[in-house]
C-alpha cells in the first residue's frame, strides 16, 4: 500500500464561494474571500485523494504476479484463462501465497476448493455440485451434523464408508421386494429375504398389503418379520377393513444373536398367528434399509 504525504498545510479561512465560471481579468485586484475559498478546498481535496491513494489495495495486470507484492495485493492475470475467462488473484501475506478468487453470479468454479477450516454459508439458494465431493472433515448444515432435507446421490458414485454422521459410517444397504400370490392357510408366503450380520439393524420404512382386487386383507393375515421358526415383529396386521397401500410401519429389528441371521419378510396366514382360516390372494411389498 502507498504511504504518500504532502508538504501542504491546512488552510485557515474557508472563504466565500466565487461565481461559477469566474476568472481574473488583467489588472483585477485579487478577492481575498474567493482566493481563500479556492485554496481551502483545493488543499482539502488533495488531502482526500492522498488518503484514498494510501488506503487502496495495490493492483497489477499482466502475465505474471508482481515480484514484491504487498498486503492484499490484487493481480489480474491475462495468461491463465479459466474456460476462456481471465482471472483475479489476491496475495495472502500471512502464508506468502497467491489465491485465485472464487467466481460467482453464474460463473463456474473449477479445480479444488480449499476452505482452510472455514465454511460455505448458503442462506437463500441451492448449492449444486456437478462432480464428486471429497473431504476428510465433516458436513454441517444449519449448525448441526444432520441434514434438514434429503440428499440424492446416485448409487454408483458413493462409497458409503466415506460418508459419516456423528463419527459413524453410513454403510446402509437397501432392500425392496414385492409379491403377488396366494397366502396359503397355515403357511408363510415369502415377500423378500434380508441377511443381517451380528449387530446389524434393519428398518422397514415402507410396506403394503392388500388383496389382489385392491380390497382389505382378512383379519388373521399379517405381514411379519420371521426367521421361519420365530416371528421377530409384525409390520402390518390385516383386519378386514384397512387398506395398507403405502405405510411406514416404524419397525426396527437388530440382530443380537451373535452370528449372522436370515430374516424373512412374509405374509403370515396361520404360521405364527391364528390365520384367516382360508387361502387368500394377497399383494404385498416392502422397503427396508440395513446398517
Comparing C-alpha atoms, which of 171, 184, 179, 173 is closest to residue 265? Answer: 179
Q: Domains of the chain: which residue ranges? A: 173-290
CA of residue 49 relative to chain centroid, distance: 45
What does DSSP say about strands 222-226 and 261-269: parallel, antiparallel, or unpaired?
antiparallel
For 112-121, 193-202, 273-282, which range has the lowest pLDDT when averaged over its residues? 112-121
Check whether 21 has a pLDDT greater than 50.
Answer: yes
258-283 pLDDT, tens digit each? 999 999 999 999 999 999 999 999 99
Check whether 146 has a pLDDT greater than 50.
Answer: no
Averaged pLDDT for residues 22-26:
91
Check whether 128 has a pLDDT greater than 70.
Answer: no
Phi then psi for residue 180, to 5 deg, are: -130, 110
For 46-50, 155-159, 182-186, 208-212, which range has the lowest pLDDT when averaged over its residues? 155-159
CATH class of 173-290: mainly beta
Averaged pLDDT for residues 92-101:
84
**Helix residue ranges, H only, the chain:** 32-55
Q: Long-range pairs for 67-74 at CB < 8 Å and ≥24 separation?
A: 69/93, 69/98, 70/1, 71/1, 72/1
Averaged pLDDT for residues 235-260:
95
Q: Alpha-carbon distance 120 to 141, whole Å?
A: 10
Is residue 263 exposed (0-12), middle (13-18) or buried (19+ Cβ within 10 Å)?
buried
Question: Which residue is associated with the grid cell 403377488?
Answer: 180
Determine the 3-state secondary structure of 35 from DSSP: helix
β-bridge partners, 206: 287
Amino acid at each position: 500500500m502507498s504511504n504518500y504525504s504532502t508538504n501542504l498545510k491546512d488552510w485557515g479561512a474557508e472563504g466565500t464561494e466565487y461565481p461559477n465560471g469566474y476568472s481574473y481579468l488583467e489588472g483585477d485586484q485579487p478577492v481575498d474571500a474567493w482566493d481563500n475559498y479556492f485554496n481551502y478546498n483545493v488543499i482539502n481535496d488533495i488531502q482526500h485523494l492522498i488518503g484514498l491513494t494510501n488506503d487502496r489495495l495495490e493492483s497489477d495486470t499482466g502475465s505474471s504476479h508482481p515480484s514484491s507484492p504487498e498486503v492484499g495485493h490484487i493481480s489480474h492475470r491475462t495468461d491463465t484463462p479459466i474456460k476462456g475467462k481471465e482471472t483475479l488473484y489476491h496475495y495472502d501475506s500471512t502464508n506468502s501465497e497467491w489465491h485465485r478468487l472464487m467466481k460467482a453470479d453464474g460463473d463456474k468454479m473449477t479445480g479444488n476448493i480449499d476452505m482452510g477450516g472455514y465454511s460455505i454459508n448458503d442462506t437463500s439458494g441451492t448449492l449444486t455440485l456437478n462432480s464428486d465431493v471429497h473431504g476428510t472433515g465433516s458436513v454441517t448444515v444449519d449448525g448441526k451434523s444432520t441434514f434438514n432435507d434429503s440428499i440424492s446421490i446416485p448409487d454408483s458414485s458413493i462409497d458409503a464408508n466415506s460418508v459419516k454422521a456423528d463419527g459413524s459410517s453410513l454403510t446402509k444397504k437397501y432392500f425392496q421386494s414385492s409379491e403377488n400370490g396366494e397366502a396359503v392357510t397355515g403357511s408363510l408366503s415369502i415377500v423378500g429375504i434380508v441377511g443381517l450380520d451380528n449387530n446389524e439393524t434393519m428398518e422397514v420404512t415402507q410396506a403394503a398389503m392388500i388383496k389382489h382386487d385392491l380390497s382389505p386383507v382378512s383379519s388373521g393375515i399379517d405381514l411379519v418379520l420371521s426367521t421361519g421358526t420365530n416371528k421377530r415383529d409384525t409390520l402390518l396386521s390385516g383386519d378386514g377393513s384397512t387398506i395398507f397401500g403405502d405405510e411406514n410401519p416404524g419397525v426396527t429389528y437388530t440382530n443380537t444373536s451373535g452370528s449372522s441371521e436370515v430374516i424373512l419378510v412374509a405374509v403370515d396366514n396361520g404360521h405364527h398367528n391364528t390365520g384367516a382360516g382360508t387361502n387368500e390372494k394377497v399383494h404385498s411389498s416392502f422397503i427396508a434399509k440395513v446398517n
